[in-house]
Amino acid sequence: MTDHDNRYDRQKLAFGQEGHDKVAATRVAIVGLGGTGCHVAQQLAYLGVKDIVLIDDDVVEETNLNRLVGATMQDALERRPKVEVIGRHVRAINEHVQLTMLKRNLMTTEALELLIAGPDVVFGCVDNDAARFVLNHLAAAYGKPLIDVASEIIVDRDGKLKEFGGRVIVALPGTFCLLCAGEIDLEAAKQALESPEERAYREKHGYGLGPQARSPSVVSMNGVVSSLAVGEFIALVTGLRPPERMLTYHGMRGVVTKSSDTKRPECRICNDLVGKRDAADIMRFVDRSKRSPG
């Protein structure tokens, strides 16, 4: 398929034909189509990425409409799947996209197999550390760069906004990962991945983190963090510069900082799991959790 129009002229002035071709030819998956995943999908469509996989098991609700790019009130009224709504938006931007839409939780055979087989790069736009934990394993085992996006708004007990922003981590197999970055709460991940029996035991014995509260979310803040992530994707695939391992947007200070963290010498993901492929047994994560990745 050729780009039979001039839509990428301005972009080629930035990256060159070769850079543009590399972006276009990179197969990308986005896991989680909430506040950040929708921005990433939109930008990949504009960039001309030709092969995009969308994975999310959630449907659009009215409370999403302050931030879900491309979603309408009708989508919320009909509770349309986010994969369909974001997929429709992607196609409206670029009809040449080869689109694969899977309305499934990350922790299903279909989703994991799709991620293992298809994409060159995976965007993690999920809202929980269990999904991050699984993506971190999968990316290392199958040698795929993982770009993990998280945004957060912290409000104190009196409802006063204390901090807003987010961060992007570029996990490159064998060199840096989400565990090296210290960005996975292992206790939260463990609890989300436990079996129903384990969960019943834990709850009966009265320890746990409690249910997740409804968290604040604003389109502009998600947009900043998502744009940083897509910027690192471009750096990675065009070779413009090495991607930053971790960028953090501190909204209250109005700055973006980069982390000087490096691979942890004892990291078992970066040291032991890289390139193990099927021997890493990613499928053991199937059906352990029903939580939405979006």
Q: Report in angstroms how near the CB of residue 273 gets to Zn ion at its nearest.
A: 9
Tokens matching residue 73? 């009130």
Smaller CB separation from Zn ion, 236 or 269: 269
Question: How many residues contact Zn ion, by CB under 5 A?
Answer: 6
Contact mark string toward Zn ion, 87..116, x via CB under 5 A? ------------------------------
Contact mark string toward Zn ion, 139..178, x via CB under 5 A? --------------------------------------x-
Q: Report in angstroms how near the CB of residue 193 gets to Zn ion at its nearest.
A: 18
Can residue 121 be called a binding residue for Zn ion (CB under 5 A)? Answer: no
Smaller CB separation from Zn ion, 175 or 248: 175
Smaller CB separation from Zn ion, 82 or 263: 263
Stretch that binds Zn ion, among 75-83, 180-188, 189-197, 220-228 (CB under 5 A): 180-188
The owner of tokens 């957060």 is 152
Smaller CB separation from Zn ion, 49 or 269: 269
> How far is 206 from 202, CA to CA, in rounded Å?
6
Q: Report in angstroms how near the CB of residue 244 gets to Zn ion at its nearest.
A: 16
Smaller CB separation from Zn ion, 247 or 269: 269
Distances (CA, A) of 226 to 12, 27, 31, 150: 22, 18, 13, 8
Site for Zn ion in 266-285 (CB under 5 A): 267, 269-270
Smaller CB separation from Zn ion, 130 or 180: 180
**Contact criterion met (CB below 8 Å) for 147 and 169:** yes
> How far is 246 from 30, CA to CA, in rounded Å?
19
Query: How many residues are listed for the chain in this entry?
Result: 294
Sequence-distant (≥ 6) Cβ neighbours of residue 56 within 8 angstroms: 31, 32, 33, 34, 37, 81, 82, 83, 86, 103, 292, 293, 294
Distance of CA 229 to the CA centre of its chain: 9
E strand or H helix at 258, and its extent?
Answer: strand 255-258
- Where do contacts with Zn ion occur on this chain (CB under 5 A)? 177, 179-180, 267, 269-270
